[in-house]
Amino acid sequence: MKLTILGATGGVGRYLVEHALADGHRVTAVVRDPARLLVRDENLTVVRGNALDAAAVKTALNGADAVLSGMGASSRRDPLNPASTSARAATEAMAATGVRRIVVVSAGPINRSGAGQSFAVRRVFSPLLWAFLRDVYTDLERMEGVLRESGLDWISVRPPRLLDKPGLGHYRHAIEAGPSGASIPRADVARAMLDFLTEPATVGHAVGVSS
């Protein structure tokens, strides 16, 4: 496939680029600073642009089959609301270019129902995380709302605590539930996002993933 990746220099985004290229896809990476993307490959096109701007995203969607986004907050109180702002930009650009499918990274605590999670996670850890990271999670909730209202073929991947360690190459997932585990390497989140591109059962859903 031909994939456009937003947030390609971020923690999950860089693995999206690496895995997509390893899978044989053609990748267009939208980045503000191309120097930060260290990957070089004949199937990689780097476009300088702001993923928060619909016009910039639109220029990177020519011929794309799908969009993958690793966009998220860089701090607890990011005034740009990057997740929801980039979702609006991406869905507007996709509507204008006819691209249908988008996969984004969200977070486990957005699972307000607690389905598939332990009592401790539902009653203790999630409320504590919401108290500490309310602005980040509110932005992610808005992002998922933008996707649900877009009419596009969207998938939101909700991991628990993200780890900076080598991927295991496998993961657990649950549609509209979980994640059941407490953590997952960023590399495995990227793997799941790419896998779900061709998994019809995940379209139009939030999917919990964990190790």
pLDDT at 78 over 90: no
Q: Transcribe 110-142 into DSSP letters.
A: G-TT-TTS-HHIIIIIHHHHHHHSHHHHHHHHH
Please, which contacts does 151-154 make with residues 24 or more away whose CB atoms are closer than 8 Å? Answer: 152/91, 152/94, 152/95, 152/100, 152/101, 152/102, 153/100, 153/101, 153/102, 153/203, 153/204, 154/101, 154/102, 154/103, 154/104, 154/203, 154/204
pLDDT, tens digit, for every residue of 85-140? 999 999 999 999 999 999 999 999 999 888 888 878 888 888 899 999 999 999 99
pLDDT at 155 over 90: yes
Query: What's this model's pTM, rounded to 2 decimal places?
Result: 0.95
- Look up the domain containing 183 and give its range: 2-210
The CATH number assigned to the domain holding 179 equals: 3.40.50.720
Query: In the chain, how many domains are there?
Result: 1
- Of 62-66, 114-118, 140-144, 181-185, give the lowest mean pLDDT range: 114-118
